[in-house]
């Protein structure tokens, strides 16, 4: 495709050919033919020239908290025996004008690299690409576009704080640890009972005094570690706003990440019907962060159906509700949740936490009802309310 300069040369050539035809001047024919022929040769050069380029794009890292640094690294390897032409690189980036780079000719068997920053000021998914490579002829008259790399994305998740404490359920959950698979010959930390030795048992687990007393090998059987469960219910109903969700999603992500670090089974439920189910491991944690990066304000409705969903298969697990505030019916639903769950904590994000013009609330936080304000941000108010010193860490 001709560039702007190429269109000008073609227009000049056509005008010269017309003038030569009308005036009968042979020189105009020559000038017009040379102009059009130059653009044609330039187009054939870029259209049919085989490029032996290896182009890679790496986003580092692929998942970051809001306001953290992230960049794209481009690498162009010329595997040809000739130098590459001048290259224009265009890499679209959602929410911006994209990256536009001009790469000088790359020598034979050589490599060039480039990098640019990505916007991470708000949570969400930043889409990058597809990367488009434009080859320009030496005269700058024509160009050819090549798609060199597919789309990629960067997950900008809410800021995550590793907390010192979480609500501990009261009583015994009969489902606790039921879905946890223990490796063979791996036991817990507390002594439970003695049993007869069977082939394959770890010899180090043999209890020799009891074995000598009973004249047969007996093995220590320790109590299997129990695995807790914690559910986070994120209220995204009106009057929830995007600014509220930036803080509320950080609260939810912090509780879930702390539960994952404690090897508990974690679950995320939102009032629009999303339910991640209980799970553990990095894949489950990544799914939580991606969901929290994409969550948007929802419609109005009752909190009770969402609490019912959060209580399904929950047993006597812990429940943390994050909300912008409660109506009278919502407060009644919260009381029901406290009765049905092993432990229930409520985190209310006051408008002053995200709206500079809103007056700061003066509600005193307790272990089970915590209010996040402008003057008392999370997680400091969480740790203070739960009687522990704040410990803050960012998970990237």
pLDDT in tens, 93-138: 998 888 898 888 888 889 988 889 999 999 999 999 899 888 777 7
Whether 253 and 213 map to the same domain: the answer is no
Question: Quick one: pLDDT at residue 219?
Answer: 83
Judge whether residue 394 has pLDDT over 70: no
- For the segment 259-266, the average pLDDT, to the nearest whole number, is 92
Judge whether residue 87 has pLDDT over 90: no
| Omega prior to 379 cis, within 30 of 0 | yes
The verdict on residue 204 lying in a domain is: yes
Confidence of residue 294 (pLDDT cuts 50, 70, 90): very high
Confidence of residue 292 (pLDDT cuts 50, 70, 90): very high
Whether 15 and 67 map to the same domain: the answer is no
Whether 252 and 344 map to the same domain: the answer is yes
The verdict on residue 180 lying in a domain is: no
Question: Quick one: pLDDT at residue 144?
Answer: 78
Tokens representing residue 305 in the block: 């159906």
Q: Which residue has the higher pLDDT, 142 or 249?
A: 249
Whether 380 and 269 map to the same domain: the answer is yes
| Omega prior to 130 cis, within 30 of 0 | yes
The verdict on residue 326 lying in a domain is: yes
Question: Quick one: pLDDT at residue 183?
Answer: 39
Whether 257 and 361 map to the same domain: the answer is yes
Whether 114 and 195 map to the same domain: the answer is no
Whether 244 and 351 map to the same domain: the answer is yes
The total number of structural domains in the chain stands at: 4
Question: Quick one: pLDDT at residue 181?
Answer: 39
Whether 238 and 339 map to the same domain: the answer is yes
Judge whether residue 180 has pLDDT over 70: no
Confidence of residue 82 (pLDDT cuts 50, 70, 90): confident
Question: Quick one: pLDDT at residue 79?
Answer: 87
Judge whether residue 392 has pLDDT over 70: no
Question: Quick one: pLDDT at residue 396?
Answer: 44
The verdict on residue 77 lying in a domain is: yes
Confidence of residue 227 (pLDDT cuts 50, 70, 90): low
Question: Quick one: pLDDT at residue 128?
Answer: 94
Judge whether residue 51 has pLDDT over 80: no
Could you tell me the residue range of the domain that residue 99 belongs to? 53-157
CATH code for the domain of 303: 3.40.50.410
- For the segment 360-370, the average pLDDT, to the nearest whole number, is 79
Judge whether residue 174 has pLDDT over 50: no
Question: Quick one: pLDDT at residue 256?
Answer: 96
Whether 41 and 89 map to the same domain: the answer is no
Averaged pLDDT of the chain? 83
Kindly report the pTM of this predicted structure: 0.72
Nearest residue to 230 via CA among 324, 315, 322, 332 = 315
Percent of the chain with pLDDT over 90: 33
Whether 76 and 95 map to the same domain: the answer is yes
Tokens representing residue 173 in the block: 């959950």
- In angstroms, the CA 156 to CA 150 distance is 20
- Residues in the chain, total: 396
Question: Quick one: pLDDT at residue 244?
Answer: 95
In whole angstroms, how far apart are CA 33 and each of 3, 5, 76? 19, 17, 37
Percent of the chain with pLDDT over 70: 88
HEC assignment per residue over 249-308? HHHHHHHHHHHHHCCCEEEEEECCCCECCCECCHHHHHHHHHHHHHCCCCCCCCCHHHHH
Question: Quick one: pLDDT at residue 50?
Answer: 67
Whether 280 and 204 map to the same domain: the answer is no
Whether 199 and 219 map to the same domain: the answer is yes
């Amino acid at each position: 495709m001709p560039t702007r300069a190429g269109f000008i040369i073609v227009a000049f050539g056509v005008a010269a050919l017309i003038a030569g035809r009308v005036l009968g001047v042979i020189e105009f024919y020559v000038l017009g033919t040379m102009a059009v022929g130059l653009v044609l040769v330039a187009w054939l050069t870029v259209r049919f020239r085989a490029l032996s380029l290896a182009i890679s794009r790496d986003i580092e890292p692929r998942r970051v908290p809001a306001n953290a640094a992230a960049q794209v690294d481009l690498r162009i390897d010329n595997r040809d025996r000739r130098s590459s032409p001048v290259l224009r690189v265009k890499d679209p980036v959602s929410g911006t004008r994209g990256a536009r780079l001009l790469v000088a000719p790359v020598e034979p068997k050589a490599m060039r690299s480039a990098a640019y920053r990505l916007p991470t000021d708000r949570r969400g998914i930043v889409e990058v690409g597809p990367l488009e490579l434009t080859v320009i002829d030496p005269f700058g008259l024509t160009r050819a576009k090549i798609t060199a790399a597919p789309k990629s994305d960067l997950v900008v998740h809410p800021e995550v704080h590793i907390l010192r404490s979480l609500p501990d359920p009261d009583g015994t959950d009969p489902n606790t640890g039921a879905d946890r698979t223990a490796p063979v010959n791996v036991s817990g930390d507390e002594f439970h009972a003695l049993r007869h030795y069977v082939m394959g048992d770890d010899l180090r687990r043999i209890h020799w005094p009891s074995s000598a007393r009973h004249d047969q090998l007996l093995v220590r059987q320790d109590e299997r570690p129990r695995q807790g469960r914690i559910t986070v219910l994120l209220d995204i109903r009106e009057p929830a706003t995007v600014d509220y969700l930036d803080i509320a999603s950080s609260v939810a992500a912090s509780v879930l990440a702390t539960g994952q670090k404690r090897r508990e089974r974690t679950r995320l439920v939102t009032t629009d019907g999303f339910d991640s189910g209980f799970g553990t491991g990095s894949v489950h944690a990544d799914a939580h962060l991606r969901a929290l990066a994409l969550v948007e304000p929802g419609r109005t409705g009752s909190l009770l159906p969402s609490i019912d969903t959060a209580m399904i298969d929950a047993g006597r697990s812990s429940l943390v509700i994050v909300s912008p505030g409660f109506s009278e019916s919502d407060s009644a639903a919260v009381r029901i949740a406290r009765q049905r769950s092993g432990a229930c904590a409520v985190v209310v994000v006051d408008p002053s936490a995200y709206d500079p013009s809103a007056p700061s609330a003066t509600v005193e936080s307790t272990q089970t009802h915590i209010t996040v304000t402008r003057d008392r941000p999370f997680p400091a108010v969480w740790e203070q309310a739960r009687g522990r010193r704040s410990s803050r860490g960012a998970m990237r």
